[in-house]
Chains A and B, each alone.
Chain A
Amino acid sequence: MIFFHGEKSLRLRNILTGYFLILPAMALIGFLAIYPVVFLLKLSFSKLFFEGGLVRFQFIGFGNFADVFYNSMFWTSLKHSLYLTGVSVTISFIIAIAISLALNRMVVGTSIFRPVIFLPYIMAPVVTSLIWKWLYNDIYGLINVTLRGLGLVGLTHQWLGEYGTALNCVVVVDLWRELPFMILILSAGLGTIPEQLYEAGRIDGTNKFQAFWHITLPLLKFPILVVLLMRTMFTLRIFDLVFVLTGGGPGDATEVLATHIYDTGIRFLKFGYSSTVSLIILGITFLIALFMSKLWFEE
C-alpha cells in the first residue's frame, strides 16, 4: 500500500486518482477503437487463407498495397468517393448555412419548421434510399411522372441507370439526408452569437453582407469546422445509400470506396486487400481531420 504525505504527494494522489477513474473508459476505448485499428493494420499486411476450416494469416509485406495501387477499380472508387464528398459537402454546406441564417431570423413557425427540417435525418438510411429509389424509377417514379405530366418528356431519364446521372442522383440523396445535421449544428452556433455585435456593426455602418462576413462567419468557425469534418468523414465512408440505390452501377459509375471494400472483403473474401483500402480511407480521413484541426488551433 502506498501512503502519500505533504502537498506534493496530495497532488500526485489526485493525479493518480484521476487516471484510475478514467481507466475503465480508456480500456473500453482501447478495446473498441485501438484494437480494431491494430487488427486492421495486421490484416493489411497479411493474406488470409483457409486451412482445415480455420482462417490463417500469412505476412506478405506491402503486397496488398501493391494490389490496391494496380487495381483500376480502387482508383475509380476513390475518384467517385472524392467527387461525392466534395460536391455533396460543399453544396449542402452552402444550403445549410443559408437555411440556418433564415431560421435564426424567423420569428413565427420555428417550432414547426425545425422538426420538419430534421425529418430526413431521423429516418433509417435504408428507408431513405428505398424511397428515393422509388422516386427515381423511370416508369412509375414521381420525378418522371411529374415531368411527363408537365409535358417535359425530354427531361425524363433513367436516373439511376445512366452513367451521366447515377452518381449525381446519389449526391442529391446524400445531400438531402445530411442537410439537417449541418443545419442543427450551424443553427446552434448562430444562437451563441451575441446580438450586440450586430448592433455595434450597424452603428458602424456595416451592411448585411459585411455583418455576415466579419461577424457571423468568424464566430461560426468552430461549428463550421465540426460540420465539415464530420460530413466529410460520413460521406467518405458512405455505403448503405449507394448499396441500396445503385449497387455501384450502372457499370462502375457509382462504385465508392465502401462498396469496393464490401465487394472485395465480403464477396471476394480478400480481407487483406479490403483492409488495406479501409486503412487508406482511415489515412485520408486522418489527414483531413489534421488539416482542419490545424485551422482550428491556429485561431
Chain B
Amino acid sequence: MKIAPLMKVLVVVTIVCSLGSGWTATLQGKEAVTITIWNGGTLEWDPATVFQNQRFEMTYPYIKLNTLEVPFDAHESRLATALIMGASDFDVSETNEFWFGRFRDKGLFAPLDSIFTPPDLKLCPDYILEAMRSKDGQLRGFPHFINTFIFLYNTRLLEESGFKNPPRNWDELLTYGEKLTKDKNSDGVVDQWGFAFGAISGRTDPFYAIQTFMYQAGGQVLDRQGNVTLSEPEAIRALEFVVDLRNKYKIIPPGINTYTGEDISRLFNSEQVAMMLGFGFSIDRALNSPDSLVKDHFAAAMPPAGPTKSPQTVIIPWEYVVAANTPHKEAALTYVHFMASLQSQVDMLLHEPGNVVPAPAVYNYPEVQAVPYIDVLREVVERGNFFIHPQGGEILKRILIEFDNALLGKKTSKKAWDDAAEEVKKIIR
C-alpha cells in the first residue's frame, strides 16, 4: 500500500505540530491567551500603539492581542452597552475622562491596584491618579497618554503682520486676532480668520475650549467641595470673552459651533486660520498631513494667559480600563501595566507628536528632547486641569446648551451660566 507511508508522515507531522503549539502555549509557563483591546479610533493615527503592541507581543509571546479600532462616535455607546449587559466583548478598553467617570464607581472596571506598585504609581501625577480611583479607593484606570488643548500659530502669517512671538495674554490675542482676520480680496467675505477653536454642538469639543478659558480666568464648573461655581464672576468672565471673540471682535469664524477639532486643524493647515486652540494631535496633523501647508512655519505654545496671568489649559487623560468580568484578567492587567510603563510613555512621545504623557520623569529622557515642542508638552502636564464627575455627561449637556445660547446671542453670558448652574445643581443633587 502506497498510502501507508504518507499516513505515517502525516501522523509524525501532526505530533510535531501539536508539541510545537503546546510548547508555544506554555511558553514562560503560561497558557496562551488572546485578549481583545478596544482602541479609541483608527490605528492609522496611533503609530505609538501599533509599535507598543508589537513590543508587547514580543515581550509576552503567550498573550496575543486582538486590537479593534472602535470609531470615536461609537465607542461610548459600545462601552455602555457591553458593560451594562455584562458582555465580555472586550478585555481592555481605552476610555476618556467622561466615559470613565460615568462607570468608575459602578464596579464595572476591574481594580488595577494588584499590578501597580508604588514606583509605578509615580508615573502619573497624583491629581490625575486620584481621579482614577473609585469611591472605595481602588484604582480603576491608568492613563497611558493625555490629550490636551494646545495653542498653535502660523509663524509666517504672524510675522507678516509684524508679530514675532505668540500672544501671551487675552489682550494680545485680541490684538493679533484683529490684525490677522482678513478679507483679502475685499469681497465682503473673510478669507483668513485670526483665531479659531472647535465648538461643535453635542460633542465635548466646546466644553474643552470653554474650560480652557475658564481655568485661565480662575473659574471652573465645580470647586473641590463639589459646589457649582459656574455663576461665579470668573466663569462668567471667561464665557463673555469667548462670546466677544465671535460677536464683538469677530476674529473667529461665526460657525465655530459647527466645527470639530479636526475641522479646525484642517482650517489651520490650509492657512484659513492663523491661530488655533485645539487638541494636541493638531501638531501631528500640521506636521504630517499630506495637505498641510504649514509644515515648516507653525509653532505650538501654551494658550494665552487670562486674568489669572498664568497660562492654563485642559488635559484629557485617556486611560486603559479592564472589564470587571473579563475571563483574562491577568493578561489584561499585564497589558495595561505594560502600556503605562515608563518605556511605553517614552515611545508614545517619540511616535505621536502632540500627545502628552503623564510621567514627569519621561520629559528628562535624552531621546525625547528632540520631540517637537517638548517644553510646551511638559508645561501642559504641570499646568493642566480637567473635569471628571460621575454625572459628567449630563452636566456637559446642560453647559453646552447654555454655551450655545450665549454664543448665539439668545442669552447674556451671565444669564446663560446662571441657568446652567441651576441645572447642574439639580443634576448633582
Binding site for B on A (CB under 8 A): 48, 50-55, 136-139, 148, 153, 158, 160-163, 243, 246-253, 259, 262-263, 266-269, 271
Please determine whether B325 and A53 come into contact, CB atoms closer than 8 angstroms: yes
List which B398-420 residues lie within 8 A (CB) of chain A.
Answer: 400-402, 404-405, 407-408, 410
30 contacts between A and B (CB under 8 A): A54-B86, A55-B85, A55-B86, A136-B258, A137-B255, A138-B254, A153-B188, A158-B254, A158-B258, A161-B201, A161-B408, A243-B73, A247-B201, A249-B200, A250-B257, A250-B407, A250-B408, A251-B201, A251-B408, A252-B401, A266-B80, A266-B81, A267-B76, A267-B80, A267-B397, A268-B391, A268-B394, A269-B80, A269-B84, A269-B102
List which B374-429 residues lie within 8 A (CB) of chain A.
Answer: 391, 393-394, 397, 400-402, 404-405, 407-408, 410
A144 → B minimal CB distance (Å): 9
Q: Which residues of A contact B165 (CB under 8 A)?
A: none
Binding site for A on B (CB under 8 A): 73, 76-77, 80-81, 84-86, 102, 106-108, 187-189, 200-203, 253-258, 267, 272, 324-325, 391, 393-394, 397, 400-402, 404-405, 407-408, 410
B393 → A minimal CB distance (Å): 4
**Cα–Cα, bound, A46→B37 (Å):** 33
Q: Which residues of B contact A266 (CB under 8 A)?
A: 76-77, 80-81
A55-B86, A139-B255, A263-B397 are known contacts. Are A249 and B107 too (CB-CB below 8 A)?
Answer: no
**Cα–Cα, bound, A158→B400 (Å):** 18
Please determine whether B404 and A251 come into contact, CB atoms closer than 8 angstroms: yes
Closest residue of chain B to A269, judged by CB?
B102
B186 → A minimal CB distance (Å): 12
Please determine whether B202 and A153 come into contact, CB atoms closer than 8 angstroms: no
Please determine whether B188 and A50 come into contact, CB atoms closer than 8 angstroms: no
**Cα–Cα, bound, A136→B324 (Å):** 44
A249 → B minimal CB distance (Å): 2
Which of B86, B106, B201, B401 contacts A246 (CB under 8 A)?
B201
Please determine whether B401 and A263 come into contact, CB atoms closer than 8 angstroms: no
B118 → A minimal CB distance (Å): 26
A139-B255, A158-B258 are known contacts. Are A247 and B202 too (CB-CB below 8 A)?
Answer: yes
Q: Which of A158, A250, A263 has the most CB of B within 10 A?
A: A250
Closest residue of chain A to B79, judged by CB?
A266
Overall SS of chain B's interface? helix
Please determine whether A158 and B255 come into contact, CB atoms closer than 8 angstroms: yes
A137-B258, A271-B84 are known contacts. Are A249 and B189 too (CB-CB below 8 A)?
Answer: no
Contacts A55-B84, A250-B408, A267-B80 known; 20 new A-B pairs at CB < 8 A: A52-B107, A53-B325, A55-B85, A137-B258, A139-B253, A139-B255, A160-B255, A161-B257, A243-B73, A246-B201, A247-B200, A249-B401, A250-B201, A250-B407, A251-B408, A266-B81, A267-B393, A267-B397, A268-B391, A269-B80
Q: Which residues of B contact A248 (CB under 8 A)?
A: 201-202
Q: Which residues of B contact A271 (CB under 8 A)?
A: 84
Overall SS of chain A's interface? loop
Q: Which residues of B contact A160 (CB under 8 A)?
A: 255, 258
A215 → B minimal CB distance (Å): 48
**Cα–Cα, bound, A158→B259 (Å):** 11
A138-B255, A158-B258, A266-B80 are known contacts. Are A249 and B202 too (CB-CB below 8 A)?
Answer: yes
A55-B86, A161-B258, A251-B404 are known contacts. Are A50 and B107 too (CB-CB below 8 A)?
Answer: yes
Please determine whether B189 and A250 come into contact, CB atoms closer than 8 angstroms: no
A267-B393, A268-B393, A269-B102 are known contacts. Are A251 and B401 too (CB-CB below 8 A)?
Answer: yes
Q: Which residues of B contact A268 (CB under 8 A)?
A: 391, 393-394, 397
**Cα–Cα, bound, A266→B405 (Å):** 25
Q: Which residues of A contact B106 (CB under 8 A)?
A: 50, 53
Which of A51, A247, A263 contacts B203 (CB under 8 A)?
A247
Closest residue of chain B to A270, judged by CB?
B394
B320 → A minimal CB distance (Å): 18
Q: Which residues of B contact A139 (CB under 8 A)?
A: 253, 255, 267, 272
Please determine whether A250 and B76 come into contact, CB atoms closer than 8 angstroms: no
B96 → A minimal CB distance (Å): 13
Please determine whether B188 and A138 come into contact, CB atoms closer than 8 angstroms: no
Q: Which of A153, A243, A269 has the most CB of B within 10 A?
A: A269
Q: Which residues of A contact B203 (CB under 8 A)?
A: 247
